[in-house]
Amino acid sequence: MSLRYRVVIAVVLVLVLGAGAGLAMAGWQARHWLRGELTSAQAGGQLAVSRTFSDLGRSDAPINDLKTLVETFDGNRHIQAVLTGADGRQLAASAPEPATPPPRWFASLLREQIAPVRLASPRGGAVVELRPIYANDMAAVWPEFLDLAFVLLLSCLAGAALVWMVVGRALEPLSAVGHVLPRIGAGDYAARAPETGPPELEGLSRGVNEMAERLAVMRTRNRALEEQILTLQDEERADIARDLHDEMGPHLFAANVDLTMMAGHITGGRTEAALEQVGAVQAAIAHMQRLVRDILGRLRPPRLLELGLSAAVLDLVDFWRLRRPEVAFETRLPPDDYDAPDQVLETAYRLVQESLSNAVRHSAPTLIAVTLEPREESLWIEVRNDGAPGQAATPGFGLTGMIERVAQAGGTLQAGPADDGAWRVAASLPIALTKKGLAA
Ligand X SMILES: Nc1ncnc2c1ncn2[C@@H]1O[C@H](COP(=O)(O)OP(=O)(O)O)[C@@H](O)[C@H]1O
| Contacting positions for Mg ion (CB under 5 A) | 358, 398
Is 363 near ligand X (CB under 6 A)? yes
Residue number, nearest CB to Mg ion: 398
Q: In 43-144, which ranges are E strands?
A: 79-84, 90-93, 117-120, 127-132
Q: Which amino acid is at 121?
A: S
Spatial contact of 391 and 421, defined as CB atoms under 8 Å apart: no
Query: Closest CB to Mg ion among 358 and 428?
Result: 358
Radius of gyration of the chain (CA): 55
Least separation in angstroms between CB 297 and ligand X: 20
Pick what 134 binds: ligand X, Mg ion, none; C-beta below 5 to 8 Å, kind-dependent: none
Spatial contact of 405 and 350, defined as CB atoms under 8 Å apart: yes
Pick what 324 binds: ligand X, Mg ion, none; C-beta below 5 to 8 Å, kind-dependent: none
Is 385 near ligand X (CB under 6 A)? yes
* Cβ partners under 8 Å of residue 195, min gap 6: 173, 202, 205, 206, 209
DSSP string computed for 317-339: HHHHHHH-TTSEEEEE---S-EE
Query: Closest CB to Mg ion among 177 and 402?
Result: 402
* Number of chain residues interacting with ligand X (CB under 6 A): 14
Judged by CB under 6 A, the stretch of 21-29, 187-195, 256-264, 392-400 that binds ligand X is 392-400
Judged by CB under 6 A, the stretch of 62-70, 317-325, 343-351, 389-397 that binds ligand X is 389-397
Judged by CB under 6 A, the stretch of 114-122, 136-144, 199-207, 386-394 that binds ligand X is 386-394
Least separation in angstroms between CB 229 and Mg ion: 13
Least separation in angstroms between CB 385 and ligand X: 5
Least separation in angstroms between CB 190 and Mg ion: 31
Q: List the one residue from 69, 212, 388, 427 that touches ligand X (CB under 6 A).
A: 388
Which stretches within 381-428 are classed as H helix? 397-408
Q: List the one residue from 37, 181, 362, 403 that touches ligand X (CB under 6 A).
A: 362
CA dihedral over 262, 264, 267, 273, signed as positive or negative: negative
Counting DSSP H helices and E strands in the chain, the numbers are: 11, 11
Q: List the one residue from 49, 212, 314, 359 that touches ligand X (CB under 6 A).
A: 359
Query: Closest CB to ligand X among 218 and 364?
Result: 364
Spatial contact of 347 and 309, defined as CB atoms under 8 Å apart: no
- Binders of ligand X among residues 252 to 281 (CB under 6 A) are none
Query: Closest CB to ligand X among 142 and 423?
Result: 423
Beta bridge partners of 429: 379
Pick what 390 binds: Mg ion, ligand X, none; C-beta below 5 to 8 Å, kind-dependent: none
CA gap 39, 283 in Å, rounded: 135
CA gap 337, 356 in Å, rounded: 24
Query: Closest CB to ligand X among 181 and 418?
Result: 418
Q: Minimal CA–CA distance to 379: which of 358, 357, 349, 424?
A: 349
- Binders of ligand X among residues 394 to 433 (CB under 6 A) are 395-399, 423
DSSP string computed for 277-299: HHHHHHHHHHHHHHHHHHHHHHH
Query: Closest CB to ligand X among 152 and 356?
Result: 356
Instruction: Give the Cα-Cα-Cα angle 253, 256, 262 (nearest 5 degrees).
Output: 145
Least separation in angstroms between CB 363 and Mg ion: 12
Pick what 388 binds: ligand X, Mg ion, none; C-beta below 5 to 8 Å, kind-dependent: ligand X
Binding site for ligand X (CB under 6 A): 358-359, 362-363, 385, 388-389, 393, 395-399, 423
